[in-house]
Amino acid sequence: MLNLRRIATLATIILLATVSVVAAAQITPMAGKKATLRDLGAPATKQTAEAPMNRLIIQFKDRAMDKFGTFNAVLAKEHVKALNTSSPLYAGGKKVTLTYFKSITPQSHVALTDEKLSRSALSAIARDFAQDSRVEYVEIDEKVYPHFVPNDTFFVSQQWNLQNPALGLPGAANLTTAWDRLTTGNAFVNGAGVIVAILDTGYRPHSDLFANIVGGYDFTNGRNSSALDPGDAVVSATAGCPISNSSWHGTHIAGVVAAVGNNFTGVSGAAYGAKVLPVRVLGVCGGYTSDIVDGMRWAAGLPVSGVTNNTNVAKVINLSLGSSGTCSNAFQSAINAVRAAGSVVVVSTGNDAALLIGQPANCNGVIAVTANTKAGDNAEYADVGAGTALSAPGGGYGSWMIGDGSGIYSTSNAGLTTPGPDSFEAKAGTSFAAPHVAGVAALMFQIRPTLTPDEVQSLLMNSARPHPVGTYCENSSACGAGVLDADAAVALAQDVSAPTSTASSSPSNPVPRGATVGLTGAATAGANPISTRVWSQLAGPTVTINNANTANASFVVSSGAASYVFRFRATDNLGRFSDSWVTVRTVNSPPVLATIPSQTVQVGQSLSFKATATDPDGDAVTFAISGLPFGAAFNTMGGDFGWPTAQPAGRYTFLIAPTDGAAYGVAQEVSVTIVTPAASGGGSVEWMDLLALGVLALTGMTLRKRVAAQR
């Protein structure tokens, strides 16, 4: 299927206006396949009913500390209670009442509203409370969900993802050759002594994993020291998310990192001698930001209120989870804290086939990982965009090179809802790409325990292989520096003669429009002195970089919504260089799509409507569409939908999302019903219409094959 997000890159949104009407008029979704946000490039926030919410994270300007400098829960409760004196009104003119729930830090607390409200209502209340002079910020305590794409096919006999790419596996991570550099006779030396925290659904004591489990904690269920995964099955729609079996997501992630190796059974982890610290932060219907940020701090050895300190301090923290939107203050604060403690944070970019990455992958200081297939192509589901660091094996089908759909084979459980026997399973998703990078980071820490988080990221990006020729990511900075190469990363970590570099920007993201942003690069010489320092722009509206040939440069942000990517390159006098990337995002709110009612038309008649949207920042709005029916047309610049001769009879659904060029608003599923004159009352479809639908589906598949052949 022609994937519109691969055409409609944010940099060529104007081009989409001339392409989409023609392309979409010729290509229909595969028969029986529903239009998805993967084709829009929009976050997975389809406009459907969502569970009401009542949790807010409030950061006060004052800390809840007593005169001895100790956290005081009573004072924290008083801070929250005091806000009720200026409570805003909501539906029916009723005042909001806040109740203290728990503390994240002495300044940051979770409070509950007295009633659960819609997202829009709670967002408005958060904005009102944020105006209080005692408050720094207020935001919704969002639920965060594991990034998971059900596997398409199973390959149970081998782990292609760990092999040498020279064996005809362009997407493989080259672990086998990296292990050769580290093995000294101890079968479990690879990653030995390094702890990797997996913040996820917990773990099962799988026979091919349990020997590498150390400690753990559950932040979701009354907070206890057992991180065992009881299952996250959704057995009732009343839970607020789709009915599903248990995913055993955390167990699969943990196996990718450190399944026991060289034991004549099962699979091997990328760092099969490392230890896994399981931290349960996700359960049924995901998890809350407040629990995740507490889990991050705890994993890094930092104190968390009411929880015994963790003595198994993790050097690497893996987050195969996320949600849409810009990086929240709560996430960024936790990331800053754990990085300052010396822990690397690795995050999956998401599985919406979007041209932007969600949080916490878009936070400053994380290593954001997208997914590639066995053939090295960016996976069709994998999010890419400004802030992506590199790609790693995630499995599935490719964007431009379809491939065989091979997944990532790892430890799992056979239970559908509650735990059953140990099993192995192939899955695909960016969730399973991130732990490859986490595992390689563990190998690097084994070699050089004193590496900083910035140095680890720089070494990983500088050692990445270029994206293969003919793939979607070839020559695209949106996909990061390249494909993970474990052997090259380990070799670079071993080479103390090579230069290293770090880069940062100020002020921190998001920056005001029109502001001057400082770019700061730092270089550490290896065996030879640094001779040149150069800044260059990789993505975003073209700007002038002032003092581009120095360590400290600057540029002026444009007046519109944008994301910029810059590269700092430090080169020594022998020509060896080290690159570091910086992403700068402007302050921006996504556009809001006006509700489009369901449409009904008789066979052969004309149907038209107009999609409209508003943008809080006043930015120009265009649209993206997925699943446009055969014969219909849509103008992505103006939002005009037209179907001159609507046929055959049936019900059609497709997705429309607004964008300001830097962010997508919530997508809406639009429904069109075509009826025959005789069926207008009951809505039935004649058998001749069904036959026509079948012929149309076959025609659509033929057209898709032609397009694929021409690409």
| Residue positions annotated with a catalytic role | 200, 249, 431
CB atoms within 10 A of CB 388: 29
CA distance 290 to 59: 12
CA distance 437 to 41: 24
Smallest Cα–Cα separation from 109: which of 145, 78, 67, 69?
A: 78
Q: Residue 100: which residues within 8 A CB-CB, separation 6 or more? A: 76, 77, 80, 81, 109, 111
Distances (CA, A) of 198 to 311, 317, 496: 16, 6, 29
The 3-class SS string of 51-90 reads: CCEEEEEEEECCCCECCCCCECHHHHHHHHHHHHHHCCEE
Q: What single string gives the DSSP state of each residue in 369-392?
A: EEEE-TTSPBBTT----TTEEEEE
CA distance 67 to 78: 16
CA distance 652 to 24: 14
The 3-class SS string of 422-438 reads: EEEEEEECHHHCHHHHH
CA distance 54 to 97: 11
Hey, which bits of 414-480 come out as E strands?
422-427
CA distance 561 to 11: 12
CA distance 317 to 158: 27
CA distance 344 to 335: 9
CA distance 669 to 626: 10
CA distance 36 to 351: 11
User: What's the token pair of residue 458?
Assistant: 């720089």
Distances (CA, A) of 242 to 51, 285, 339: 12, 8, 35
User: What's the token pair of residue 450?
Assistant: 């004193």
CA distance 651 to 683: 10
Indicate the length of the chain as a whole number: 711
User: What's the token pair of residue 357?
Assistant: 């990455």
User: What's the token pair of residue 561?
Assistant: 């919504």
Distances (CA, A) of 404 to 148, 373, 432, 703: 19, 9, 17, 21
| Look-up of token digits 């760092």 | 271
| Look-up of token digits 């999302």 | 657
The 3-class SS string of 214-253 reads: CCCEECCCCCECCCECCCCCECCHHHCCCCECCCCHHHHH
CA distance 708 to 711: 5
| Look-up of token digits 């004159």 | 677
Q: Residue 117: which residues within 8 A CB-CB, separation 6 or more? A: 52, 53, 54, 90, 91, 125
